[in-house]
Structure 1
Amino acid sequence: MHSTTKYSPFEIVYGFNPLTPLIPLPLKEQVNMDGAKKAEYVKNLHEKARLNIERRTEQILKNVNKHRKARNFEAGDWVWVHMRKERFPHQRRYKLLPRSEGPFQIISKVGTNAYKLDLPGEYDISATFNVSDLAPFLDDNSI
């Protein structure tokens, strides 16, 4: 039995649990139902499993988002960019080089969690970054 769906994968696919050597007795429910009855039974089973998955997903999201703080930036804000090795292969060649670059100014918001930055031409990459790669720039006057 799966902890999220509350059903075994076999039961979700076939509509009944298989007989194992530990269960030699026949099933109480009739396994050989007519087609329409079997289809309705499996459809209801899938619906129950889907509801269990949704309920479990909501529980997980609630726990994950408990300590998460949303980062929102506005156009004109200054940010640091985390330089990942995959995205900045020439700037992150060595282990001891700085991990953040900047500050860069935000031009606009793209979608719900991406921002377009004003990058100099030397970077030669897309100027759109996920919010997880950005950190606010605090100058000495704002502290």
Structure 2
Amino acid sequence: MLRCIVQEHPKLWDEILGQAEFAYNSMTNRSSGRSPFSIVYTKQPNHTIDIAVLPKCSSKPASSFANQFSSMLQEVRAKLLESNNKYKQKADEHRREQLYKLGDLVMVRLRRERVAPGTYSKLSPRKTGPFPILKQINPNAYVVDLPTHFNTSTTFNVTDLSPYHPPDDARTNISSSESDSPVDGGE
């Protein structure tokens, strides 16, 4: 947002920050249907046009104010839950359950966070393997027979595993001498 506002004057970002914050907090949120300012302060913020017109002061009992505020919060909560359910349904359309059995060969994706600093390269292969599954911890986590030179935990989330498909019909054997990782997950 700041990049769009400052454009060719990036060193003026600190002078623009207040305007950007005001714009963000007064903009209606797609999920809640209200602006962050109206959720916190129960009214829309005063813009420069509103400064000429002073707000009218009307005295109402505190209980009616509290009831209005709580009903507004319930409405926001309901809209957020509805929005979250829509997002979940959309995300679930693309999800697939992947179960592996002990001994299945998988390819492992080693993310930058899992390797020692300085050893990760953007140009290195995305996946490495194949490695056999040693143990299923739960439907989302598996212990893989990873060689010790990788120097990382052998427990992987199912999103970092993919089934190994050999390039030909030849049988693939992985000897246990290639890896000496513990079965407990290396943790």
The bucket for the TM-score relative to the shorter chain is 0.7 to 0.9
The structural deviation recorded for 1:26 is: 5.6
Cα distance in 1, alignment partners of residues 36 and 121 from structure 2: 47
CA 94–49 in structure 1, closer or farther in 2 if over 3 Å, else same: closer
Looking at secondary structure, tell me which structure has more helix per residue: 2
Partner of 1:61: 88
Structure 1 unmatched runs, 5+: none
Q: Does 1:40 align with 2:67?
A: yes
Conservation of the 8 A alpha-carbon contact between 1:107 and 1:117: yes
Taking structure 2 as the reference length, what is the TM-score of the superposition?
0.61
Partner of 1:130: 157
The structural deviation recorded for 1:83 is: 2.5
SS in 2 for 1:65: helix
SS in 2 for 1:69: coil
1:1-143 maps to which residues of 2 (within 5 A)? 1-20=28-47, 22=49, 24=53, 32-89=59-116, 92-93=120-121, 95=123, 97-139=124-166, 140=169
SS in 2 for 1:58: helix
CA 16–105 in structure 1, closer or farther in 2 if over 3 Å, else same: same
Taking structure 1 as the reference length, what is the TM-score of the superposition?
0.76
**1:42-98 per-position Cα deviation (integer Å, ceiling 9, x unaligned):** 111111101101111111222233233222223332111012233234764472x43
Cα distance in 2, alignment partners of residues 11 and 4 from structure 1: 14
Which one-letter code corresponds to 2:69 in the other structure?
V
The structural deviation recorded for 1:2 is: 1.9
The structural deviation recorded for 1:119 is: 1.8
Conservation of the 8 A alpha-carbon contact between 2:99 and 2:139: no
CA 109–38 in structure 1, closer or farther in 2 if over 3 Å, else same: farther
Conservation of the 8 A alpha-carbon contact between 1:81 and 1:101: yes
Q: Give the aligned length.
A: 139
